[in-house]
Structure 1
Amino acid sequence: MSQLLQTSIEYLKGVGPKRAELLKKGLNIHTFGELMTHYPFRYVDKTKFYTISELHPDLPYIQIVGEFVHIETIGATRQKRLSAIFKDDTGRIQVVWFKGIKFLGSTVRVGVKYVLYGKVNAFNNSLSIVHPELETLVEYKNTLQSTLQAVYASTEKLNNSGLNSKNIVKLQKNLFTQIIGKIPENLSSDIIDRYKLLSREKALIQLHFPKNAEILKRAIFRLKFEELFFIQLELLKLKLINTNKTRGFAFPSIGDYFNHFYEQNLAFELTNAQKRVLKEIRKDMGTGRQMNRLLQGDVGSGKTVVGLMSMLMAIDNGFQACLMAPTEILAQQHYASLSEMLEGMPVKISLLTGSVKVKERRIIHKELESGELHILVGTHALLEDKVKFHNLGLCVIDEQHRFGVAQRARLWKKNSNGVPHILVMTATPIPRTLAMTLYGDLDVSVIDELPPGRKPIETIHWFENKRERLWGVLREQIKLGRQVYIVYPLIDESEKMDYANLQAGFEDVLNKFPRPDYQVSIVHGQMTNENKEFEMQRFVNGETHIMVATTVIEVGVNVPNASLMVIESAERFGLSQLHQLRGRVGRGAEQSYCYLMTGYKLSDDGKLRMKTMTETNDGFQIAEVDLKLRGPGDLSGTQQSGVPVNLKLTNLAKDGQMIEIARNAAKDILDKDPNLQLPEHQPILAFAREQQRGKTNWSRIS
């Protein structure tokens, strides 16, 4: 970055130490460069001027040019206002300010030509404009003035200190007057020419001071492209390092363990999607390079069996494997299902969680180090220093988004002789655009079909007036020998209101389904692990008909006999969570149902969520709608590759095509010049290093 852009913001004309401190605290602007990239969030069209005679209250914000003929301060100390009469050749209008009176009273002058922008109000049969934006006609005609005026984010404290959007515009003018001709380019001329991009300097000037809507559109495109290009460049560089430089263990053989499981233990035919993914994994692990693969699959698509068969490939080649899950419940569920699938085979598998007793831990540690233990399933407990493998060859990580980068890295280092292969599994469908940005350094496999015989879950949205009818549906299902989940939205376990809501629901269910004819379980986050496990096990064993629960059962419970899911106050859940909860049923051969119960007052987003859930079972389609409704969220908080995602302009829900364009551009560069050593790529390398200052990833570029 230019040294000028690193200059402290206090040295910009119009700032100074006091305002600099406000900008740092309020908007995180410390330097000229950070002000330059404090982008507008909308624009005001200043192409049209009105005359005062044309004004009426139904108009949107208007712009007039004229002069003040009278200005006075009116009222007592607490109710002061600045009142003025503004005129042009066609008439006069009252202008009023209730804030900034002292400043305006000393700067606004009678007889000087001003451009005034604001909203017309009607009061007592007369028109007025309250708190208009104001600048002299001379200022307006400044060379950097735009017909589209930028509007900037500010804060109340900044507004009260004279740093509202209008004054930030002035600071931007002062800044660009000083830095024009000194803004370095960060893309190669080849990319700029190929994609017909504006230069970086021109794009920044036109973003802050657009001449017209068309050039503003081109400026936004250029700067969005830049944001995405550097994210994709780093992700692809990491992928390149993993592929070419990070040595993994070669698994050339498919041996007795895999074949015995496939021929003797596998109780069903694999889907074509499962077979395709296994081929991709086998190919990865046979190369001698480290596999880094993300396995996406909807609820019930059969990811676990693919994960197990991948672990058997490792065992066939003399290596150990582990499976790490984010919660004890899910780890226990995996351990139980893997043990069941491996029954009768000479594969030793153990479970390690926080609640495993010290004596059992010692045995596990010993068997792990000796190589006697083939598969270790566990939670974060696998990351402890005491957990040492004999030769860890494959790490399967379930629900990756719940683990941080540092945790994942610690798991990789469990083998001192090399880097184990990584298979990341998620049942949370990730829209393609988001996957390319969050997991762009991983290869992606998708299991996009359900096992044969699985019937789509029928989803129904009912309002509270169908409550009695719902109880009847439950009785019918229980009479058929099925089981039922009823889920309540405990947003925060500490909220008494939510907890009371769950308890009231439980009492209501007990009244409608009394003992001894019916047995009802309750599970929530405030229970001890032992009590939770006891109640869940009763339900799994078929000893209880109904489980009343919070979202604690979102993952980790697999009861094929459960055919009915009721989600209470469904409008309080996001689409992704609704889909995950619905996936707890539909695991057997019988038709399953999901009832979404809501209040009558639904927001437009709430209506769309209910409509989406009742119309499709496709998790990826649901995820796309969810992304559009909620946006990408805090990417830096969810993203796992270590790449800082700082998107000021890009909307991942809407700019999917641009992500692909930027990724292709980055790929072309790295295919040609992996280390960015060519002279034409020096601007790219310099900016990338500047962006990653203090981070480790870009240091790998020589």
Structure 2
Amino acid sequence: MYPVSTLDVPLSLRLPKKITKVLHNADIVTVGDLLMVAPRRYYHWGRLTPLSSLREGEDVTILAEVAGAHLVANRSGSGVRLEVSLTDGVQYLSATFFAKSQFKLAPIERLLVPGQSFLFAGKVGAYRGKLQLTHPSFEGVDGEDIERIASRPIPIYPVTGTLTSWAIARAVGMVLDHLDDSDVPDTVPAVIRERQRIGTYAQCLRRLHRPESDEDYQQARRALAFTEAFVLQVGLAAQRRGVRSIPALASPADVPLVDRFIQGLPFTLTDTQRGAVDQIGADLAGEVPMQRLLQGDVGSGKTVVALIAFLQVVAAGHQGAFVAPTEVLAEQHTASLRALLAPLGDDAPDVRLLTGSTTPAARREIAQAMATSAPLIVVGTHALFQESVRFADLALVVVDEQHRFGVEQRASLRGAREDGRGVHELVMTATPIPRTIAMTVFGDLDDTRMGGMPAGRTPVATYLADAANAAWVERTWARAAEEIVQGRRVYVVCPRIDASDEVADAEEEGARPLASVEQVAAYLRSHPALAGVAIHELTGRTPSALKVQIMEDFSAGRAPLLVATTVIEVGVDVSEATLMVILDAQQFGLAQLHQLRGRVGRSSLPSLCIAMHRHELTDAGRARLQAFASTTDGFELAEADLRLRKEGDVLGAGQSGTATHLRFLSVRRDEALIRAAKDEAEALLAEDPTLRSHPDLARTLRQASDGQLEWMQRS
């Protein structure tokens, strides 16, 4: 049994029926829901100004008594206004409130009763030669210490629909007046609160909504942010402990087959590759299931590291699964693995490809091989997650571009063993993740970072080009022709597929259409500089079989210019590709731009990326493009991206605000706080793995499993 919390009490038991209904319409149902509606800002009344000294255009705070109030219909026949006469006992001033109907003004009319005193704040205006306030902020002060009220911050709440800031403030006040602090559970244990110098949960809520000073609400926000971070980190650490509590198969690290493979490579592993191989090898040699995130910049050689891990497992007699997000990438991985393994001759493990396009006969053959416990590596797409797919002896799952897959999908392969033993898991990404994000979103995974590039690779030169400069545009296509004449390949990337998309974009944005694959390909086929050049088109709508043929033609040079959407952004590896032209580059995010650039520069050939953008750029768009051109280091770009993006964009759609229950924690701002919460969470679970001594925390985690931790599925 978990303790009952006052925060779970329905608002219908604490508030009048009318306000409860309005709050319910905004999904504010319990006392806890209401108290977690954070003020969006705080207002300061400022020094009181006598009515006799008011001047038009000034922002003022006055103390006045309501002398009278009456509703007046506007002469235009549209809407009404509430005219309130204010006095300080000597002078008079009018305050006017406008609305579409008298019902909208009813709450204000009920509050501004003649004979009652209020603090009013706003900008002084003039109407027909007389000074007035329009829609001033106000708060009652009868019987209270005016100096204290005038000096303390006033919470201003977010307005949604018919729910006004004043209505929320009144509801919060009624709830706090009857809140017994002893009935409010503390998710963060007292000893941790003391170390982190934060108050009880109830104290923090009171300081958030009724601060006596700016320091009060600032401390409350920090404490509530730490609480959110702490719950997240305990949840992640518990997930990690849960997965690792099931013993996995150990594969010895010292394997002659792996040594032969490394010695036979046509290149030398970089120091960061060797470091990753050692870390992963040590994990695979143990019986604790590996859960590791391998971050490597585009072209850093993650595939080779993954293959060495597979060899270690296969040499021990087990099976491996390599999951890719697209068929094109799965096919490329298969070809790449087979080519790298070729020098091993008969000792090379069997590599099979399983995708949605695999024929029934081939699927049956692969299924038979998987069922016989024969050592092999199966490369596939989402097809590997189907219930009909059964491995007899799966020991390692490698997931490429992990953000394309949900936790449940990956867990289906982790739990693929019938004997109940755990499966090692390596998730890879070529989109470097800022450390704060990694701690917050991927805290259940150990993090390995591979920097640098393999020997023989050359950095890609990056240039920004204004599409309004005709000379630059023509030079771009001339350069494309020059690359092709030298036997090289050229990518041209567009944000849209066809003309119908363009028309929709133009109508929506009120601007000229964005570049589309269909029209750009047609234009380039007619361009004199590219006369006689075979040009292919590739988009997400291209049939699978045709995609394979297009990529083969491009790679072989039969069609050396490929006009595509971002379907080529991940993993496509054509060593002869030396020029990437990104049209309407302002439409893409930093990570996407970096991924696209990573499609060239995959050999010793000098390579170039031209990001062609519109002449009219927003400040944010210009900053993003300048950051892209300033460095080819993905980890630097990831940190720059974090600085440039809004909080809601950092975690992705549906992963911010109320969708995640992260109301106070900022992954951009709170790195030190997240790190402290992570350390505290791990120490707590080391002492109390089942949270038996911390029922309030256990209860919060149970509730969070349906919401706050749900977004970490990273789908």
TM norm structure 2: 0.89
Q: Deviations over 1:419-476 (max 9, x none)?
A: 2111111111111111111111111111112112222211111112121232233233
| Match of residue 225 from structure 1 | 226
Q: 2:522 aligns with which of 498, 507, 510?
A: 507
Contact conserved, 1:635 with 1:645, CA < 8 A, in 2?
no
Give me the whole-angstrom Cα distance separating, in 1, the residues matched to 2:372 and 2:575: 38
Give me the whole-angstrom Cα distance separating, in 1, the residues matched to 2:688 and 2:234: 12
| Match of residue 34 from structure 1 | 33
Question: Per the alignment, in what secondary structure is the counterpart of residue 564 of structure 1?
Answer: strand
Q: Quick check: 1:667 aligned with 2:682?
A: yes
Contact conserved, 1:144 with 1:209, CA < 8 A, in 2?
no
Contact conserved, 2:327 with 2:381, CA < 8 A, in 1?
yes
Contact conserved, 2:294 with 2:450, CA < 8 A, in 1?
yes
The alpha carbon displacement at 1:593 in A equals: 1.1
Q: Larger deviation: 166-175 or 409-418?
A: 409-418
**Aligned letter for 1:273?**
T
Give me the whole-angstrom Cα distance separating, in 2, the residues matched to 1:379 and 1:361: 13
The alpha carbon displacement at 1:21 in A equals: 3.3
Give me the whole-angstrom Cα distance separating, in 1, the residues matched to 2:52 and 2:41: 29
Percent of pairs with identical residues = 34
| Match of residue 352 from structure 2 | 350
Q: 1:535 aligns with which of 550, 554, 567?
A: 550
**Aligned letter for 2:65?**
E
Give me the whole-angstrom Cα distance separating, in 1, the residues matched to 2:384 and 2:500: 29
Give me the whole-angstrom Cα distance separating, in 2, the residues matched to 1:401 and 1:515: 38
Residues 406 and 306 (structure 1 numbering): CA distance in 2 closer, same or farther, change over 3 Å? same
**Aligned letter for 2:239?**
L
Give me the whole-angstrom Cα distance separating, in 2, the residues matched to 1:85 and 1:32: 37
Q: What pairs with 1:4-83 in structure 2 (closer than 5 Å)? A: 4-13=6-15, 15-16=16-17, 18-26=18-26, 28-56=27-55, 58-60=57-59, 62-75=60-73, 78-83=78-83
Residues 185 and 346 (structure 1 numbering): CA distance in 2 closer, same or farther, change over 3 Å? closer
Contact conserved, 2:47 with 2:150, CA < 8 A, in 1?
no
Question: Per the alignment, in what secondary structure is the counterpart of residue 351 of structure 1?
Answer: strand
RMSD: 2.7
Residues 444 and 106 (structure 1 numbering): CA distance in 2 closer, same or farther, change over 3 Å? closer
Residues 49 and 260 (structure 1 numbering): CA distance in 2 closer, same or farther, change over 3 Å? same
Question: Per the alignment, in what secondary structure is the counterpart of residue 424 of structure 1?
Answer: strand
Q: Deviations over 1:494-546 (max 9, x none)?
A: 73536873322222212225675322221122222222222222111111232
**Aligned letter for 2:229?**
L
Q: 2:136 aligns with which of 121, 126, 132?
A: 132
| Match of residue 383 from structure 1 | 385
Contact conserved, 1:401 with 1:638, CA < 8 A, in 2?
no
**Aligned letter for 2:480?**
L
Q: Deviations over 1:217-254 (max 9, x none)?
A: 211111111110111112122223334x2201011253
| Match of residue 208 from structure 2 | 207
Q: 1:600 aligns with which of 608, 615, 620?
A: 615
Question: Per the alignment, in what secondary structure is the counterpart of residue 516 of structure 2?
Answer: helix
Contact conserved, 1:636 with 1:645, CA < 8 A, in 2?
no
The alpha carbon displacement at 1:63 in A equals: 2.4
| Match of residue 449 from structure 1 | 452
Q: Deviations over 1:312-357 (max 9, x none)?
A: 0001101011101111111111111111111134321110000111
Give me the whole-angstrom Cα distance separating, in 2, the residues matched to 1:487 and 1:541: 20
Residues 637 and 79 (structure 1 numbering): CA distance in 2 closer, same or farther, change over 3 Å? closer
| Match of residue 267 from structure 2 | 268
| Match of residue 630 from structure 2 | 615
Q: Larger deviation: 135-144 or 569-578?
A: 135-144
| Match of residue 153 from structure 1 | 158
Q: 1:421 aligns with which of 420, 424, 427?
A: 424
Structure 2 unaligned blocks of 5 or more: 506-513, 711-715
**Aligned letter for 1:451?**
P
Give me the whole-angstrom Cα distance separating, in 2, the residues matched to 1:190 and 1:405: 33
| Match of residue 234 from structure 1 | 235
The alpha carbon displacement at 1:6 in A equals: 1.8
Residues 299 and 64 (structure 1 numbering): CA distance in 2 closer, same or farther, change over 3 Å? same
Q: Deviations over 1:107-128 (max 9, x none)?
A: 5333432221333335565543
Contact conserved, 2:391 with 2:417, CA < 8 A, in 1?
yes
Give me the whole-angstrom Cα distance separating, in 1, the residues matched to 2:200 and 2:301: 49
The alpha carbon displacement at 1:90 in A equals: 7.3
Q: Larger deviation: 196-205 or 666-675?
A: 666-675
Q: What pairs with 1:92-131 in structure 2 (closer than 5 Å)? A: 92-99=92-99, 100-105=104-109, 107-122=111-126, 126-131=130-135
Count of residues paired in the alignment? 681
Give me the whole-angstrom Cα distance separating, in 2, the residues matched to 1:46 and 1:525: 57
Residues 105 and 424 (structure 1 numbering): CA distance in 2 closer, same or farther, change over 3 Å? closer
| Match of residue 688 from structure 1 | 701
Q: Deviations over 1:235-291 (max 9, x none)?
A: 122223334x22010112533432331222x11100010111111111111121111
The alpha carbon displacement at 1:138 in A equals: 1.9
Q: 2:436 aligns with which of 433, 438, 452?
A: 433
Contact conserved, 1:231 with 1:645, CA < 8 A, in 2?
no
Contact conserved, 1:40 with 1:150, CA < 8 A, in 2?
yes
Residues 101 and 284 (structure 1 numbering): CA distance in 2 closer, same or farther, change over 3 Å? closer
| Match of residue 473 from structure 1 | 479
Give me the whole-angstrom Cα distance separating, in 2, the residues matched to 1:627 and 1:275: 29
The alpha carbon displacement at 1:32 in A equals: 0.9
The alpha carbon displacement at 1:141 in A equals: 5.1
Question: Per the alignment, in what secondary structure is the counterpart of residue 427 of structure 2?
Answer: strand
**Aligned letter for 2:95?**
V
Residues 53 and 545 (structure 1 numbering): CA distance in 2 closer, same or farther, change over 3 Å? farther
Q: What pairs with 1:317-336 in structure 2 (closer than 5 Å)? A: 317-336=316-335
Residues 541 and 696 (structure 1 numbering): CA distance in 2 closer, same or farther, change over 3 Å? closer
| Match of residue 700 from structure 1 | none
Residues 139 and 340 (structure 1 numbering): CA distance in 2 closer, same or farther, change over 3 Å? farther
Residues 207 and 695 (structure 1 numbering): CA distance in 2 closer, same or farther, change over 3 Å? closer
Contact conserved, 1:2 with 1:183, CA < 8 A, in 2?
no
Contact conserved, 1:401 with 1:639, CA < 8 A, in 2?
no
Give me the whole-angstrom Cα distance separating, in 2, the residues matched to 1:106 and 1:654: 42
Structure 1 unaligned blocks of 5 or more: 698-702
Q: Larger deviation: 658-667 or 103-112?
A: 103-112
**Aligned letter for 1:325?**
A
**Aligned letter for 2:461?**
E
Question: Per the alignment, in what secondary structure is the counterpart of residue 458 of structure 2?
Answer: coil
Question: Per the alignment, in what secondary structure is the counterpart of residue 533 of structure 2?
Answer: coil
Q: Larger deviation: 282-291 or 85-94?
A: 85-94
Give me the whole-angstrom Cα distance separating, in 1, the residues matched to 2:43 and 2:280: 54
